[in-house]
Structure 1
Amino acid sequence: MSSKSSFGPVRRRSIEDEVYMRMREAILKGEIEGGERLVHEDLASRFGTSRIPVRDALKRLVFDGLVDADERGVCRVSHFGLEDVEEIYSLREMLEAQAVVKATAQLTDEEIDELERLQGDIEAAAEAGDKQTYVELNQEFHRELYDSADQPRLSRMIYGLWQGLPPLTPMAIDNRLVQAAREHRGILSALRERDADAAGSAMREHIATAGRALYDYVASKEGKIR
């Protein structure tokens, strides 16, 4: 396990939150490699904490899909490779574009107004480089949009594909925040015009662009060139 800067004594945020965010950052930066075992005692020593906040942080990382835990409770960093990127993003393009097509006719003007207000907050977070806030608001934007489609099975399939690295891509890839935020504008414009095909196409391209960026990031970590 690397001893780079994500590790070290923590200040109270709560302690669990701080440990969770430090570990998540270390995983996203590749400081801890896929498949590497995460030992409670070792992590507690590195962070200067007891085992309890480490245990609770690991539970949250398992929920995020960044850590796998077996039946014995042994935790390892989830492996996320190039084939995973290709499979997940090809499905996301299809499903999320379909959700937007369905949502176009369902959204009220007031709901589009709310999405545009949320978009303003997303762009502000992107400009400020606030990755944590950006990720939270971005997921809220997409959830509100997809839930408006009133297609619960479709929504469940989409959210199932969000586990692990994909929704946290902006935290891992530098210089992606502002451009990704601006890509929402085309989607919102098409929604306002009630152009379902254009909205679906804009979402498909938005997801595809994110997929290409993530593919290149993972390839660079694996020492591979597309």
Structure 2
Amino acid sequence: MEKVENTFNKIVELEKVHHLFFDGMTLMFGGFGGVGTPPKLVDTLLDSSVKNLTLIGNDAGFPTIGIGKVVCAGKVDKLIASHIGSNPVAGKMMTDNKLEVEFSPQGTLAERIRAGGVGLGGILVDVGITSEIVTRNKQILTSGGKDYILEPALTADLSIVFAKKADPYGNLIFDKSARNTNPLVAMAGTKTIVEVEEFVPLGELDPEEIVVPGVYVDYMVQSEGVNWTWVWEETYGT
């Protein structure tokens, strides 16, 4: 039988994804306080000349951990996140009008990302419906006799994701809580790059274990490995 060449290998060298980062782009990232944020891709962004970014993710990381390094480097114009309390530098930049921050409750933020990934225009939520601060400049819709805030879906030019294991097609498995928002983020980018700790041959992954199917993945790069326990202890203490 004639051998059929595998055309589904999305594993590339890091240099092959540099062109996907550009000035003024919207970048979505997985992670929770640094845990689950792809370290090599963050460092690649940090070392580049790219600036004027809009970032979308759970938080602002920490000054020396996760996406916080990019924020502290002054590369970000706007951040859409659930909180920035873990990064005092981001807080100072916000109060000094050097960083625009759009806050979104964590569950609402995750659902807005999911909505963007599946092609919805937005979601209806009642969180904060009685607060003028929350509803300011928001559209209010009524359904079933109840008022809701219309929250627009979120998408990005590029999503960066961290996975524990993947096959060449991009089917992904995550490491416990490092999974966090990564599956949602993987769906919502026009292009998605995944940093992977371990690659396995096609067919080796149990289909029931796959969290993100490869159809959402465009490129994958090899990670140098991350000790998430160490990151957690550095972040929150033992």
TM-score range, shorter chain: under 0.3
From the two aligned structures, give the one with the greater helix fraction.
Answer: 1
Normalising to structure 1: TM-score of the pair?
A: 0.22
Name the structure with the higher strand share.
2
